[in-house]
Structure 1
């Protein structure tokens, strides 16, 4: 279920870095960069285990939201391994930050905030903080990594490159941060999109296997990550006019500033011309199986839930989550994600950031 496992069969330059880290002023923050399937998590696992063997307190921040080792996916997780471990999957999370997607695209703010906040938590009780990152390193990924480095301020950057693909990220930090450039190991295995999806399916299924249903009163929580309850509820005249114009059944509608946002069901298959600057809509059927973050009073994610149904009239929701009743009492905020997934691990697709 995890791509990366602990091995001591590593290129010699990895051991050279280990010696440098061993003698580095503590605490030391290490950020590992590399493209998809470049061996970032394998290197992080090696360094963490070797440093643990030397008696250092190690923190792992797993921010590879699509290929998470520390469950669950769609979050950034902090863990403190208390002994040698085979893979990130063996580490119990200390805290999570909810991103709500399996890709950092459209979620740069969450990616940066999550790593920053969890790094601050890690600094309180560790000698070495190892930050594993996503494989998004080109296009907008260059700016994401730049902003993350500027915000987190790691002491060491370890760059795993096949050629020179990380140089646009690294060059602004030359002379400011200690940088180690390593070649991707010849043993690094490439995984297909289908293989990565299959691994995620197993992880979703594992996380949600002991889920139980809850009926929650939405009035008792802060609702975030969505426009569903922003602005004012539309009146009956507005609802009737929109239904007549577009041949919809409107389940729920809000007016946010000068713009309408509705949850609808089509009642006729007719062409529609809609000015999205005036009216935004969401299909009611897609409100099921949306990933939810269950957030505590400090803004950290206690766990995940799956939205099954919203009763807009009574403002109640049916959700599935593995959290027990005592932990559910600590939830202060329900945050909507942008991936639809079933409890059996089947992913039903990503939603646009602005679509909900």
Structure 2
């Protein structure tokens, strides 16, 4: 359908939809729109098309999509003021690091995109590090990634990650140290690439003492020059008031930001998984050929026959597979096998080691990351199964070459990228 919009208004489009500019001038978060370049608005996302001169659009709406016109710009005035001051400082103090904070659906990604686009139009070299595990745009969910931007963008999801760190979860609560270490590594990397402005987006976990402690640790470790907090009232006060070594801007969370429920955020994650699994096929690897991380499997040796007789006698069942490290005994049971808890305790007391029990097939569906010999992120895959006796693994992944390290995560997916839950039994 054709839609005409007057200059000075903003066209808000909720996906899934596609938008073509037929005439006039418009911008999305300071990114100019070119005629002939179709813009896709993802399911669960909203893009603001700010009309600079009378414009005509061709819009195609998918199921549940919509659009509306609003007067003026949806970009708050204090965004414009803060961004202009940040750009001015970045021109004289490089590299300048800016960290963005806010609760879920507060406009963090929109602010990052707007800041990046204004900086690019001012000829600055911009890097965006996406530290939001659950709603990551740069890199798949369960990772933190970065990209050096060489042109304006309407949606950071359209940007490919230059590198990423795999965390294996979509929430930072139990992985704060890993996230901080990963962000530190990526920040050092973009500094070596001579970025003039480094924008670090963070996750929406801000409520409570643990969240505040985590965010303040991020600031202490990454040492941003500027922290921008997006809030509607004072929901970030307990965090921002504790920041002492960075300039703090408090800006508004835009009224036009669309709030998404848990299901919508899940759908967005699944679209992202699907993007990074496109073209995947099943590949097999001997565990001895690769470096297996995130699990104790592959780290030990097969127990002696005498040891196996002792294990079987105490358990009262024959394990499908066993592996022993200096401190741990790994026991893999058949799919329908079960061992009483008291027998496991007896075995621990007898061998003086911690016992980890898996069941054959429990590993199927776990997300994995793939890295090359230099530790560079190559992509993700889905663990399809482990042949314990051959010590081989099967992975569904589009990555074909250069795989040196496979790291097992905790999120379970099917081959379409749909989330099936979380499994922690394989973690170290």
Residues 313-348 of structure 1, C-alpha deviations (whole Å, 9 max, x = no match) = 222211111123xxx22x321111111112201112
2:46 and 2:257 in contact (8 A); partners too: no
Matched residue, 1:146:
216
Give 3-state SS (helix, strand or coil) of 1:100's partner: coil
Among 401, 406, 409, the residue aligned to 1:337: 409
Please say if residues 290 and 340 of structure 1, whose CA atoms lie closer than 8 Å, have aligned partners that are also in contact.
yes
Q: Is 1:16 aligned to residue 112 of structure 2?
A: no
Counterpart of 2:297 in 1: which secondary structure?
Answer: coil
Give the structure with the larger helix fraction: 1
* Match 2:383 to one of 298, 303, 307: 307
1:209, CA displacement in angstroms?
2.3
Query: RCO greater where, 1 or 2, for CA within 8 Å and sep 6 or more?
Result: 1
Task: Tell me, yes or no, if the aligned pair for 1:248 and 1:265 is still in contact at 8 Å.
Answer: no
Task: Report the Cα distance in structure 2 between the residues aligned to 1:308 and 1:266, rounded to whole angstroms.
Answer: 15
- Equivalent of residue 165 in structure 1, options 235, 252, 261: 235
Tell me the TM-score normalized by structure 2: 0.76
Secondary structure, counterpart of 1:285 in structure 2: coil
Distance 2:181 2:48 in 1: 29
Larger Rg: 2
| Distance in 2 between residues matched to 1:197 and 1:248, nearest whole Å | 40
Determine the structure 2 residue equivalent to 1:178.
247
Equivalents in 1 of 2:221, 2:189: separation in Å? 15
Report 1:211-222 matches (<5 A): 211-222=280-291
Q: Distance in 1 between matches of 2:290 and 2:189?
A: 25
Distance verdict in 2 for CA 1:19–1:203, change over 3 Å:
same
CA distance in structure 2 between the partners assigned to 1:182 and 1:265 by the alignment: 56
Quick one: which of 42, 45, 59 aligns to 1:3?
45
- Specify the alignment match of 1:284 in structure 2: 360
* Gap change, CA 1:236 and 1:287, over 3 Å in 2: farther
Greater strand content: 2
Question: Does the Cα contact within 8 Å between 2:358 and 2:425 map onto a contact in 1?
Answer: no
Residue 156 of structure 2, aligned match among 88, 91, 96 = 88
Aligned pair 1:256/2:325, yes or no? Answer: yes
Whether the 8 Å contact between 2:294 and 2:426 is mirrored in structure 1 is no
> Would you say the 8 A contact 2:99–2:227 is kept in 1?
yes
The one-character-per-residue Cα deviations of 1:24-71 (angstroms, maximum 9, x if unpaired) are 022211110111111100111111111111211111111111111123
Quickly say closer, same or farther: Cα 1:197–1:168, change in 2 above 3 A: same
Corresponding residue for 2:65? Answer: none
Shift of the 30–248 alpha-carbon distance from structure 1 to 2, 3 Å rule, reads: farther
Which aligned pairs between 1:260-275 and structure 2 lie closer than 5 A? 260-265=329-334, 267=336, 272-273=341-342, 274-275=344-345
Equivalence for 1:102: 170
Query: Take 2:284 and 2:118, find their aligned partners in 1: how far apart are those partners?
Result: 46
Are the aligned partners of 2:371 and 2:404 in contact in 1 as well (CA < 8 Å)?
yes
Q: Is the Cα–Cα contact under 8 Å of residues 387 and 393 in structure 2 kept in the other structure? A: yes
The gaps in structure 1 that reach 5 residues or longer are none
Take 1:229 and 1:244, find their aligned partners in 2: how far apart are those partners?
24
**TM-score normalized by the length of structure 1:** 0.90
Aligned partners of 1:100 and 1:337 also within 8 Å = yes
Give the Å deviation of 1:259: 3.5
> Is contact 1:4–1:87 with CA below 8 Å preserved after alignment?
no
Q: Structure 1 pair 320/242, CA: closer, same or farther in 2 (3 Å)?
A: same
Of the structure 1 ranges 56-65 and 231-240, higher mean CA displacement relative to structure 2 is found in 231-240
Matched, 1:295 2:334: no
User: Does the 8 Å contact 1:216/1:317 carry over to 2?
Assistant: yes
The DSSP-based 3-state class of the residue aligned with 1:317 is strand
